[in-house]
A = this chain, B = another copy of it.
Amino acid sequence: MILEIADIHIHPGQNAAFEAAIAKGANEVIAHAKGCKGFKVNRSIESPERYVLQVFWETLEDHTVGFRGSAAFPAWRAVVGPFFAEPPLVEHFDLVLESA
């Protein structure tokens, strides 16, 4: 299992609209992608225009090759992209440690 973390900064004053958009994009697009095992979205208390999207993928390639190479990627970006104040920082992670 691979964790994708996307650090997202949106334009100010669009929180409600962005949250509706990312819910739509995640539920209607990401959730149906091959290898997608789940997702969550958190909003920063200190920086309310900052969101962290986490997506769990079966393999790295399910995201980098499968998802990004499919028609789902432009569909996703069409829904959430207009809110981005800058390109999101996206990296993939291995789990090192977890509490019981």
Interface residues of A (CB under 8 A from B): 2-3, 5, 19, 22-23, 26-27, 31, 38-47, 50-52, 60, 91-99
Contact = CB atoms under 8 A, between A and B. Distances in A.
Given A3-B42, A46-B91, A91-B47, A96 B31 contact: no
Contacts of A60: 45
A40 B40 CA distance: 15
A39 B96 CA distance: 11
Residue with the greatest number of chain B CB neighbours at <10 A, chosen from A31, A52, A95: A52
5 contacts: A40-B98, A40-B99, A42-B96, A44-B92, A47-B91
B39 A91 contact: no
